[in-house]
C-alpha cells in the first residue's frame, strides 16, 4: 500500500510564498513520477495525479480533470475538493477556453474572467492546463482552483504543464 508522497504537512487553504510553493512542487515531482511509473490507463493516471497534486498544492480548493467526451464537450473526471460541475461545453468558462484554444489559462482573479463558471463561490483564482495525447489531440483539461487571489505562479503553471505532457503523451489507453 503506497504512502502517497512524503512532504511537510501544510494546512489546506494555506497560500505559501511562491518560491516555497515551487520548491514543494519540485520536491514532489520525482515521487509523483515514481508513483505513476508504468501505468498506461488514463483514468488511473488522472485519479492518482488529482490525489497527489491535492496534497502538494495546499492553496487549492479544487484539483482535478475534465475529460473530452464529445467533440466540444467536457465531463468531470477524477478530482479532489467540493462538488464540481458535471459538464462544461467548449464555449463556456475557463475550462472551455483552455479546451477550445488548447492553451493554458492562468487566471489571477476569476471575477475578472468573463464567463467564469463558479462551481464554488469561495474560488478566487484558477489555473487550467490542456491534456494532449501523443498525437497532439486534446483529451482533457487539468483544473486547479484556489480561494486566494493569484494562487498560482507562472513557474508552477509551467512545471505542471510539463508534467501533464510527460504523463499523458506516452501511448496511453484512453476511455
Ligand atoms: N471554474 C471552471 C469550472 C470548473 S470548477 O472550477 C471545478 C470554469 O470556469 O470553467
Tens of each residue's pLDDT in the chain, 175 residues: 455 688 999 999 999 999 999 999 999 999 999 999 999 999 999 999 999 999 999 999 999 999 999 999 999 999 999 999 999 999 999 999 999 999 999 999 999 999 999 999 999 999 999 999 999 999 999 999 999 999 999 999 999 999 999 999 988 888 6
The beta strands (E) that lie in the chain are given as 62-70, 73-81, 87-89, 105-107, 125-132, 138-146
| Cβ of residue 62 lying under 6 Å from some atom of ligand 1 | yes
Torsion sign (Cα): 87, 82, 105, 49: negative
**pTM of the predicted structure, to 2 decimals:** 0.96
pLDDT of residue 1: 47
Rounded Cα gap, residues 145 and 129, in angstroms? 12
Tell me if 81 CB under 6 Å of ligand 1: no
127 lines ligand 1 (CB under 6 A): no
Name which of 45, 24, 79 is nearest 165 in CA terms: 45
Please state, in angstroms and rounded to a whole number, the distance separating the CA atoms of residues 144 and 128: 6
Q: Give nearest CA residue, ligand 1 atom 7.
A: 84
The CA-based angle 155-50-8, given to 5 degrees, is 65
Q: Is the CB of 145 under 6 A from ligand 1?
A: yes
Q: What is the pLDDT of residue 2?
A: 53
Amino acid at each position: 500500500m503506497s504512502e502517497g508522497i512524503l512532504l511537510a504537512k501544510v494546512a489546506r487553504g494555506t497560500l505559501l510564498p511562491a518560491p516555497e510553493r515551487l520548491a514543494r512542487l519540485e520536491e514532489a515531482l520525482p515521487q509523483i513520477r515514481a508513483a505513476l511509473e508504468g501505468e498506461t490507463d488514463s483514468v488511473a493516471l488522472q485519479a492518482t495525479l488529482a490525489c497527489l497534486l491535492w496534497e502538494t498544492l495546499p492553496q487549492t480548493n479544487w484539483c482535478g480533470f475534465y475529460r473530452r467526451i464529445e467533440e466540444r464537450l467536457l465531463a468531470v473526471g477524477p478530482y479532489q475538493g467540493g462538488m464540481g460541475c458535471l459538464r462544461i461545453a467548449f464555449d463556456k468558462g475557463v475550462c472551455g477556453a483552455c479546451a477550445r484554444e488548447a492553451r493554458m489559462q492562468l487566471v489571477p482573479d476569476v471575477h475578472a474572467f468573463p464567463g467564469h463558471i463558479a462551481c464554488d463561490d469561495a474560488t478566487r483564482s484558477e489555473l487550467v492546463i490542456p491534456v494532449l495525447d501523443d498525437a497532439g489531440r486534446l483529451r482533457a483539461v487539468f483544473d486547479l482552483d484556489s480561494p486566494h487571489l493569484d494562487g498560482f505562479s507562472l513557474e508552477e503553471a509551467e512545471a505542471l504543464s510539463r508534467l501533464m505532457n510527460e504523463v499523458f503523451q506516452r501511448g496511453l489507453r484512453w476511455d
